[in-house]
A and B are shown apart, each in its own frame.
Chain A
């Protein structure tokens, strides 16, 4: 008997994306540019995070018509975002046939206490995390892929670096602590104990872990890959730059050859203006998207 949407199939889908770049797009034409540049998937959005940030107000799931138009434009997988805790938006996205749902802090949260029970869905979910506890809570709820939160829409990689380093440091800690200390650590991290044991056994998260939030240049992508990311999400960084196609190709190649500085140098030449960046320190705490979610 064929069984659809098993956890292995959901996790496996993310494993097929490893080493690749997933790009935010708002239009079918942008999706085609991303596909031609070598993106492994696109994220269909109403607005990129930088525009969500400047527009203010409540950011919701994109119009299904827009998502469907993007799905029809490309053959690579299409992801879409729903609000944290908004399982009805997730149901709508699943019914449209999107390949992956991002329960995302980029949109305005719909529930301040609970995330979606992702095990109820046949379609896999990716969720953001700032640290190991948050990553394992999301995996406990059924997420099949994790990404750093970073600080979306800023073009500033500092927060993605912080989150990736934090997760790596905590995984090392889990591996080297005596086993009797793990239950207390589980309590401190707010992480399911069984998943901590699994991390200890594997020496890594049990699902794929991508970098996201503020990646704007090929060198940013190479940095995150060298810090241990399995792949890269680029949000505003591509279509807010002056030459999206060229930049998209360059980020794809830098992600593949992240440990080859000569190649990263070559693809970084003459890319034009990167997206304008934001200093995280100038953002008020309430303006930070990464604090959303539990």
Chain B
């Protein structure tokens, strides 16, 4: 954790209270952990079943979606992720993580499926077509966000209640449905932590709600 992180208090609260898990089957796990810790929250690699219910939020990283999906099922993570999402806690899926969350995946069986989006794998082409470009993501502010696309999927259609967060050449590349957040690109491969901080804000909001319910205050 960076030295100033402990003191980082935003308008909505204190990131240091948040425990964020990164599904650690395969892929860009340490990059997400670093990004979350750079925002001031605590992040843990999730390598065993039973830990997910304790979390305030979960990140499903980029990697190979077939590998991550197959092993998640085998080790019993899928039901734990579904319960976490059903409890209203936020889940961020980047690249392969987006594919895991999607309700429909072209030409293959969906994996979790939780979010009302349809996706196409490797939709931008093979590795030689992989690219980086400046994206406009209005919820993160005016400054462009560097989108790193690696054999990336596309969101080909969205259901009701899905908020489009970013569009690139008429293709949806970031979206949110309630507590589910997905990006086709890799925010963890840049030094820009705005998207991770946005995710932590979602987690804080839910944590406060749950806390208020516990102490008997009605926040609605």
Contacts and interface: CB of A to CB of B under 8 A. Distances in A.
B212 interface: no
Interface residues of A, number: 36
Given A20-B67, A41-B64, A99-B151, A9 B29 contact: no
A16 B127 contact: no
Contacts of A288: none
Interface stretch (A32-40, A58-66, A128-136, A213-221): A32-40
Interface string A2-31: 111110110011011111100000000000
Interface stretch (B5-13, B20-28, B50-58): B20-28
Interface in B48-92: 62-64, 66-67, 70-71
B154 to A, nearest CB: 14
A75 B189 contact: no
Interface in A172-218: none
B132 A76 contact: no
Given A2-B133, A9-B150, A38 B189 contact: no
Interface in B103-158: 121-122, 126-134, 148-151
Contacts of B64: 16-17, 20, 40-41, 76-77
Contacts of A124: 127
B196 interface: no
Contacts of A122: 128
Contact of B186 (A2, A12, A35, A99): A12
B67 A3 contact: no
Contacts, number: 113
Contacts of B66: 35, 38, 75-76
Contacts of A123: 127-128
Contacts of B207: none
A289 interface: no
B47 interface: yes
B70 A38 contact: yes
A12 B27 CA distance: 10
A12 B148 contact: yes
Interface string A36-52: 00111100000000000
B28 A16 contact: yes
B31 interface: yes
A55 B185 CA distance: 44
Interface of A: 1-6, 8-9, 12-13, 15-20, 35, 38-41, 75-77, 94, 97-100, 122-124, 252-253, 256-257
Given A20-B26, A77-B127, A253-B71, 10 more contacts: A2-B131, A2-B132, A5-B131, A9-B149, A12-B150, A12-B189, A19-B27, A40-B67, A76-B67, A257-B47
